[in-house]
Every structure is written in structure tokens, then in C-alpha cells.
Amino acid sequence: MEQTTFAYDVLIIGAGPIGLATALAAQQANLKYVVIEKGTLVNSLYNYPVHMTFFSTSERLEIGGIPFVSINRRPSRLEAMEYYRRVATAHKLHVNLFEKVEKVTTNGNGYTVITEKATYTATHVVIATGFFDIENRLDIPGEDLPKVTHYYKEPHFYTMQHVVVVGANNSSVDAALETYRKGAHVTMVIRDGEIGSRVKYWVRPDMENRIKEGSVKVYFHSSLTAIRPDSVDIQTPDGLVTIPNDYVLAMTGYRPDLPFLADTGIEIAPASNQCPTYNPDTMETNLPNLYLAGVVCGGLDTHVWFIENSREHAEKIVAKIVRERAGKQEAPQKGDS
């Protein structure tokens, strides 16, 4: 039987830092590869708040052993985007942007990947799609009003507006502080009794002091229950409170596209974190030659994997592919004596 020839050795879905790291490793191993990305380069970083700074130092964000030099102790979003852009362009990585993958199916010993623009075949597929695509919804009346957003970009827009920020972790705290400093009237709604334990240690005192002095109003042990064009309802320990409101920043977190993983045939754990199945030594899923890389590996637990501790996924995947190819080349061919 004639063997199927695939157009690519490796097809990588997602041009975030870990997708680019996998492309670099594939390039260095002389594998024929392509990266498919539904948005712009490092699309998640592009959608981060404009003035965001990383918790990590620049060297922990490096990929492919390429130095990331920052003038700051902790690099900014803008510096990171420029670093990854330069990595992609300087190394002439093969990246197809603004092309959404719609389906991945098995095809003999490899895969067919169907996008909105083309159809590809590859022996190996790497899914490195992150978790910033789908917001955790509040599921309350009024959530679909135009005044509500799950993605905060920059503070000036909210000057002199009544803003409610839902959530207690870094994105919520950053949004509350930045909009307050641009003249917004900020109210935070937090379901627990304090701001989150993961809030950056150099930001926490600032937030706590703004709360103590009353510059930012906070309702602890509370939840937003309804949103209207000019007001919101907050369920507090003391009863229902209605306050004036112009905008709601629902910083309630995000989740990976688990239905997409399931549709490809990847097994998803039934536990609360819905972690996809993969071999931690090779990053291979229950499907042969289909791999996961980066934060998508954590399922709903999006605080397990970061750039700095998932960079090694790229090396694990490519090392496994190279070993497999070497084994096939060394195996006796039919008809050999």
C-alpha cells in the first residue's frame, strides 16, 4: 500500500510564545513546519492591558535561547511583544496569521487541519492555543449590554465614569487602580473577604491603601446580580445594594477552548479542572503525534502553566519527534538483507 505523504512534519496551532518556541525548536531540528494563528502574532499579549508588566523577569520569558533584554526589572507588555516579533522575523519563522483553525482530523498516520482559508496535512500537530479566548461569564441579567467587557485595555476611556470591577486578582486590581487614577469612580465586587493571594506583591499595598482610605469602594463577600444601562445590583452580606454605573469590567478570568480539544478526540478529565490528557514527558495526548504545549495543558486551572515553566514543552515535543524519525530511519526496510 502506498504511504501517504504529508505536507508538513509539524503543524503548530497558536503563535503565542510557546507556539513560537515550538517553531524555533522545529526549525533548529530541520523539520518542515508551519504555525497557524487566528489573530495577530502573540495575540493574547496583544489583548493584555496596555500598561501591564510581567511578574517574571525578562530572561524567564526568553524562548529558543534568544536573549530578551529589558531596561526594566520586569518587562512590559510592549517590550514582550517587540521581543517575540523580533524573534519571529529575525528567524524567518513560517507563521500564517489571521487564519482560524476550524477542525483537526486524523488522516492515516497524520492529521488534516482545516482552516477558514486552506486545508493542511501534517504528520504531527501541536496545539498551543492558550486560554485567553473564552471569558468566564457572570451569567446574570444585563451581561450582554455594550457597557460590559471581560477584556480591559487602558484606563483613559473610563475617566469620570462610574466603574464596577468584578474580581479580586491581578487583572481586577490593575484595572481598579488604573481607572481610579484616571478619575473614575471605582467600586470593586469581590466574592471573598480580601483581594486575591496571587496579586503582585508590589501592587498589593497600593490596593489595600486605596481601599482603607476609601478611594476605591469594595464590597467583600458579595456578587454582582444584575446590570442595567445606568445601574447595577450587588448582593452583599447586608442585603441588596443598587448603585449608579456606567461601565462594568468583569475581570473573572478566562478558559481554554476545551470543546475544540474534545472535538479533535483529546480526552478531557471529568474532574473540576477538566485537564486534557497528555504525557508530561513528551506532551503527547492520547492521540498519537498530537501534542499540547503551554497553558492549555492546565484545563480550567489557568494558574499552573506560564511562559517561564512551559517553554520546555517545545523541546520535549521536538525531541520526541526527532527520536521517532531517527528510529524509523534506522529500522530495516522491507527487502533489506
Span 307-322, pLDDT tens digits:
888 999 999 999 999 9
Which of 203, 219, 250 lies at the terminal end of a domain, its last residue? 250
Domain that holds residue 100: 8-134+254-330
* 76 lies in the same domain as 172: no
Q: Is residue 1 part of a domain?
A: no
For 192-235, write each residue's pLDDT tens digit: 999 998 898 899 999 999 999 999 999 999 999 999 999 999 99
One domain, residues 262 and 243: no
For residue 337, tell me if it sits in a domain: no
On the question of pLDDT at 333 being above 60, the answer is: no
In a domain, 2, yes or no: no
Task: Tell me the C-alpha distance between 246 and 27, whole Å.
Answer: 50
Question: Given strand 239-244, what is the order of strands in its sheet?
Answer: 223-228, 231-236, 239-244
Tens digits of per-residue pLDDT, 28-57? 999 999 999 999 999 999 988 898 888 888
Separation CA 161–CA 247 (nearest Å): 7
For residue 272, the number of C-alpha atoms closer than 13 Å in the C-beta half-sphere is: 1
Q: How many domains does the chain have?
A: 2
- Both 16 and 79 in one domain: the answer is yes
Residue 191 clears pLDDT 60, i.e. is over it: yes
| For range 13-25, the mean pLDDT | 97
Same domain, 202 and 267: no
**Per-residue pLDDT at 1:** 32
Q: Note whether 158 and 275 are same-domain residues.
A: no
**Are 12 and 115 found together in one domain?**
yes
First to last CA, the chain: 21
The Cα 91–Cα 97 span in angstroms is 16
52 shares its domain with 155: no
Which of 3-17, 147-161, 237-251, 277-291 shows the lowest mean pLDDT across its residues? 3-17
pLDDT tens-digit series, residues 97-137: 999 999 999 988 899 999 999 999 999 999 999 888 789 99
Query: pLDDT band for position 327 (50/70/90)?
Result: confident
Q: Which of 325, 333, 326, 332 is nearest to 109 (CA)?
A: 325
244 with 270, same domain: the answer is no
- Of the residues 250, 279, 312, which one is the last residue of a structural domain? 250
Is there a domain that residue 3 lies in? no
Rounded CA gap, 155 and 149, in Å?
13
Confidence of residue 336 (pLDDT cuts 50, 70, 90): low
Residue 49: alpha-carbon gap to chain centroid: 13
Asked if residue 81 is part of any domain, the answer here is: yes
Whether 141 and 226 share a structural domain: yes
What whole-number distance in Å separates Cα of residue 198 and Cα of residue 211? 18
Long-range contacts of 265-273 (CB under 8 A, 24+ apart): 265/106, 265/290, 266/290, 266/292, 268/299, 269/299, 272/300, 273/298, 273/299, 273/300, 273/301
Does the pTM surpass 0.85? The reply is: yes
Q: How much is the mean pLDDT over the chain?
A: 92
Is 336 a member of any domain?
no
User: 128 and 170 share a domain?
Assistant: no
Last residue of a domain, one of 228, 250, 272: 250
DSSP 76: B
- For the cut 80, the answer to whether the pLDDT of residue 328 exceeds it is no
Q: How many whole angstroms separate alpha carbon 315 and alpha carbon 47? A: 27
How far is residue 165's CA from residue 77's CA, in Å, rounded to a whole number? 22
Are 61 and 191 found together in one domain? no
